[in-house]
Amino acid sequence: MVEFILRCLARLLLWLRYRVEVRGLREVAARGTRGIAFLPNHPALIDPILLMAVLHRRFRPRALADQDQVDRFFIRWVARRVGVLTVPSVAKHGAGVRAAVERALGEALAALRRGENLLLYPAGHAQRTWREDLRGNSGVERLLREAPDARLVLVRTTGLWGSSFSWAKGQAPSVSDAVRRGAVSLLLSGIFFAPRRRVTIELAEPADFPRGAPREALNAYLESFYNATAKRNTYVPYTPWSRGGARELPEPEPPPSVAGPLAVPASTRDAVMAELARLAGRDRVSEEQHLAADLGLDSLARADILAWLEAEFGLPQGDADALVTVRDVLLAACGQAATSEMAELRPIRAAWFRRLPHDPPPRLPRSRTITGAFLEQARATPGRAIVADQASGVKTYRDIVLALLLLRSDVASLPGDRLGLMMPASVAATLAYLATLFAGKTPVMVNWTLGPRNLVQALDLVGVRTILTLTPLVQRLEAAGHDFAAVRDRFVFLDELARRAGRGRKFRALLRSRLSWASLHAAQPSETAAILFTSGSEALPKAVPLSHQNVLQNLASVLQIVPLTQNDRLMGFLPPFHAFGITVTMLAPLCYGLPTVYHPSPTEGAALARVIAAYGATVLIATPTFLNGILRAATRASLASLRLAVTGAEKCPGQVYDAFAALCPNAVLLEGYGVTECSPIVTVTDPASPRRGAIGKLLPAFERLLTHPETGEVLPPPATGLLLVRGPCVFSGYLNYDGASPFVEAQGKTWYRTGDIVSEDEAGVFTFCGRLKRFVKRGGEMISLPAIEAAIIERLAPQGNQGPLIAVEATPHETNPELVLFTAMDVDREAVNAALRAAGFSALHTIRRVIRVPQIPLLGTGKTDYRALKAILASDRAPAR
């Protein structure tokens, strides 16, 4: 009875907007109603509901549906009633959900073999263009292999491309927006008088279906059937008073692609090509080939490719559907992964878009602590929207106070004075950080990219017994191959703490957030605002304590150079273990009133572009690698709100400048330079006089000296030399560290030795020249070459050897250097990388090439002649092994 009522209700609601013509239904039913696999095309997210309304009474098919689309209010209950089998999207959730996909497919095919009916979409997702493209998917091939006697009924739905439930606008449709718009339009049209979209549903059971053919032939047959009557982007008005009537609109523009030759190192190209050839069962592949159409690699295979890329190259990846061609895989291997889609954006509270009159500058706090600065801002504008993301929504200062009053006692009860925080850029990370400070504990920002060995060492170094993290983050990282076995017993999940809070406790917190913040004003934060870790540039990570004044002075100094207003909206996606991430995108909103929207993954270029457009972000904070990923996936329209982008952590290539200028002609791209020990920004380009390739002028909070890197002689500008700095943003020294002091004495003062060579011109503008020590930057992380050498020697070098047998050097590639091992030993790349993994190094430390030499060249002093090795790499005359 319930299903009958649901079916009637669905048909009535659909009838108000759609005029559906069904063909072939009776003929199919006349041949029997059991053991049928219905195989439809997928022009819009609404067509499964249309099909179930048509098929359910006679056939009651079990449908395979995207878990994210089904997991909605009311829909999930209806889906359970009609036996829908949910499948997680491999494109969105990665290779970690493969087992769940296999279980769902297995259950569906078992039901089909029992004589039940199945509704299976061969494409696996909604159409991205007006024509169906099965992209090498293997669903039908597997169905025929495991249920060879099943009846196959092809279903062709025509007329929905252009619907608000389709991708006809070039982006993922918003179901909630479409439903709201439809409901309002029906009311404005007097319920029964709204224009109707004409939809045709055709069912056919072709006798010539090539059941025994290979996958390519099966998919080609299906595509031919689906596309025979396909209609282009058709707009149908929502009210009878709309002008123009039904009409055809232009098709969405394809996503931008990177033109010209790819700057991919030879060994990276060779490794990618070999892996793709292996997966496709071919002798060789070419850059232009499509993974699906040419190589037959479906979404599951592409998810495996993503997992391999992250394990092999150590760089976080986008999603499986973004990998269309071999060229895309090569870009992903170089850290330029794209994304094809993201989950539907949740509605954004109107409070986020409220502007203050006259574009006031940021309000500078008087307090000398972060907690005090936050309370100053919150007291001044408690109802102002200040942080937002898609998981938590828009939060005002008062909302944050409420969360702090609720979480503070839980955080205070966790063991240890220092609390690890392992979270992506998010509202949750911001709340957890503040709750830790207000609980009197020191936040320790946990960098999960360090690798298991360095991670354990870093936590033990500062005595962290507990790590506050998020369940979805850990699941995603473990699916990508991260190993947390050594620290899992330290995890406490913030989402579980929030769920345990009872209604009474929530109500009391709500009352206090409205009546009294006395407990927060009385809080005594630790002297250290945060502990971050270096990237292990000298064998193991060092712990960097930053004080409240370090970071507050740094932000205040930046705002003297870069003119922001309280109406700016920052886009934050750098993780808070990144000094740039915690200082600029976490503390700027809390302490200086600069609204910030977060996205948890810096590699999801398409998703970030959508968030920028949806939230009207005006300032983008990024590394060049991540900025390039956004530019590859964005359009001019999606980045139209930007007026400023600030990049740092690595040199910004000219191609990124060019791409930014093309997409954001009215915005300015600034480059800066910083180090964690300086909280972190040291120089930044003046927006009034940007200069490509320069890292800008010294912030007012710093003094500087340039010295000769060998003699220590102070060099008057203009000059090129080793940069020394001092000032209130510089840290006090490493924690629990017995190595050489990072400070030097010069001109009667104490200076922090940055280890970087810079050039300063007559105008005081700096240009970064290079690292003094032997480390390189990959994926935004510093990689220590001596640390890698030590691990290889410890595990592979024979005892009692005379002289060095190995040396590690990096290729002179500006944006994506590769690690090369020179060796006089008989050892291959696989053995070397296995030794590094055993030593606890992450995939960022993977050796890409092994070059056999008769002996390691030496200087007269007996030290390794790295200049000679660099010359070999520069000439590229040595064969890789």
pLDDT one-digit tens code per residue, 726-746? 999 999 999 999 888 999 999
State yes or no: pLDDT of 375 exceeds 90.
Answer: yes
Indicate whether 751 and 860 sit together in one domain.
no
Please compute the mean of the pLDDT values over residues 59-88 and round it to a whole number: 78
Angstrom CA distances, 55 to 95, 150, 151, 202, 377, stand at 33, 17, 15, 12, 58
Does residue 538 carry a pLDDT above 50?
no
Same domain, 529 and 586: yes
Q: Is the pLDDT of residue 93 over 70?
A: no
- If asked whether residues 423 and 444 sit together in one domain, one would say yes
- In which element (H, E) is residue 751 found? strand 749-760
Specify the residue for token string 């990846």: 317
Higher pLDDT, 67 or 780: 67
Least confident piece of the model among 113-117, 180-184, 827-831:
180-184
Distance CA 544, CA 677 (A): 6
Amino acid identity, position 90: V
Last residue of a domain, one of 333, 359, 374: 333
Q: Based on the domain organization, do 116 and 244 belong to the same domain?
A: yes
Q: Three-state SS for 353? A: helix
Residue 820 in 3-state DSSP? strand
| CATH code of the domain covering residue 496 | 3.40.50.12780
AA identity, residue 25: L
Residue 773 has pLDDT above 70, yes or no: no
* 137 and 204 belong to one structural domain: yes
Phi-psi category of residue 489: left, alpha or beta, with phi > 0 → left and psi -120 to 50 → alpha:
alpha
Smallest CA-to-CA distance from 412 within 525, 300, 244 is with: 525
- Looking at residue 814, its pLDDT comes to 66
Burial of 739 (0-12, 13-18, 19+ CB in 10 A): exposed
Paired strand residues for 462: none
The mean pLDDT value for 708-724 works out to: 90
Q: What integer pLDDT is reported at residue 258 of this predicted model?
A: 47
The reply to whether 757 and 780 lie within a common domain is no
CA 201/CA 156 separation, integer angstroms: 6
Q: Is residue 344 domain-resident?
A: no
Predicted confidence at residue 640, as pLDDT, reads 96
Residue 509 and residue 403: Cα distance in Å, rounded? 8
Taking residues 760-781, report their average pLDDT: 80
Residue 338 included in any domain: no
* pLDDT score of 224 more than 90: yes
* CATH number of the CATH domain containing 726: 2.30.38.10
Among residues 444, 453, 445, 443, the alpha carbon closest in space to that of 482 is found at 453
The pLDDT tens digits for 250-297 are 888 765 554 445 556 666 788 888 888 888 888 888 887 888 767 777
Q: Are residues 320 and 194 in the same domain?
A: no
Question: 67 or 210: whose pLDDT is higher?
Answer: 210
Name the pLDDT band for 2 (thresholds 50, 70, 90): low
Say if residues 384 and 378 touch (Cβ distance below 8 Å): no
> Containing domain of residue 757, as a range?
696-771
Mean pLDDT value of segment 130-157: 89
Tell me, what's the pLDDT at 777? 73
Token duo for residue 644: 């400023």
Q: pTM for this structure?
A: 0.71
Question: Is the CA virtual torsion 590, 594, 599, 603 positive or negative?
Answer: negative
**Predicted local distance difference test score (pLDDT) of residue 498:** 82
**Residue 689, helix vs strand vs coil:** coil
Q: Provide the 8-state DSSP code for 864.
A: B
Question: Do 787 and 738 belong together in one domain?
Answer: no
Q: What is the CATH number of the domain that holds 826?
A: 3.30.300.30
| Tokens representing residue 508 in the block | 């009391």
Boundary-marking domain end, from 727, 747, 771: 771
CATH label of the domain that carries residue 270: 1.10.1200.10
- Tell me whether residue 854 is in a domain: yes
Whether 513 is covered by a domain: the verdict is yes
Residues 148 and 164 grouped into a single domain: yes
- Reported as a single tens digit per residue, the pLDDT across 318-359 is 666 667 788 888 877 766 655 555 556 778 999 999 999 999
Q: What is the pLDDT of residue 96?
A: 63
Query: How far, in Å, CA of 798 to CA of 228, rounded?
Result: 68
Tell whether 284 and 215 lie within a shared domain.
no
Let me know the angle formed at the C-alpha of 22 by 17 and 27, rounded to the nearest 5 degrees.
Answer: 160
- Tokens 């009924």 map to which residue? 153
Contact 286, 293 (CB under 8 A): no
Axis crossing angle, helix 266-280 with helix 326-333, rounded to the nearest 10: 130
Going from the C-alpha of 752 to that of each of 97, 492, 677, 693, 875, the distances in angstroms are: 47, 36, 9, 25, 37
Inside any domain, residue 107: yes
Percent of the chain with pLDDT over 90: 47
Within-domain flag for 343: no
pLDDT at 264: 65
Residue 800: CB partners within 8 Å, gap ≥ 6? none
The pLDDT value given to residue 842: 86
How many folded domains does the chain comprise? 5
DSSP state of 110: H
The pLDDT value given to residue 799: 59
Nearest alpha carbon to residue 40 among 135, 158, 129: 158
Q: Is residue 689 part of a domain?
A: no
Please give the average per-residue pLDDT across 103-131, as a whole number.
89
Of 754, 771, 788, the residue at which a domain comes to its end is 771
Quick check: 13 pLDDT over 90?
Answer: no
Q: What is the Cα–Cα distance from 538 to 383, expressed in whole angstroms?
A: 47
Neighbours of 611 (CB within 10 A): 24
Among 595, 620, 590, residue whose Cα is nearest residue 351: 595
- Whether 378 and 490 map to the same domain: the answer is yes
Tens of pLDDT along 789-832? 888 988 887 754 555 788 999 887 766 788 999 998 888 999 99
- Give the model confidence (pLDDT) of 379-437 as tens digits: 999 999 999 999 899 999 999 999 999 999 999 999 999 999 999 999 999 999 999 99
In the prediction, which pLDDT does 319 show?
63
Q: Higher confidence at residue 588 or residue 170?
A: 588
Residue bearing the bigger pLDDT, 588 or 317: 588
Q: Beta strand pairing status for 418-422 and 467-469?
A: parallel
Give me the CATH number covering residue 154. Answer: 3.40.1130
Using CA atoms of 291, 296, 298, 300 in order, give the dihedral in degrees to the nearest 10.
-100
Q: Please tell me whether residues 172 and 219 are part of one structural domain.
A: yes
Percent of the chain residues past pLDDT 70, beyond the cut = 90
Domain assignment present for 391: yes
Residue 185 is predicted with a pLDDT of 86
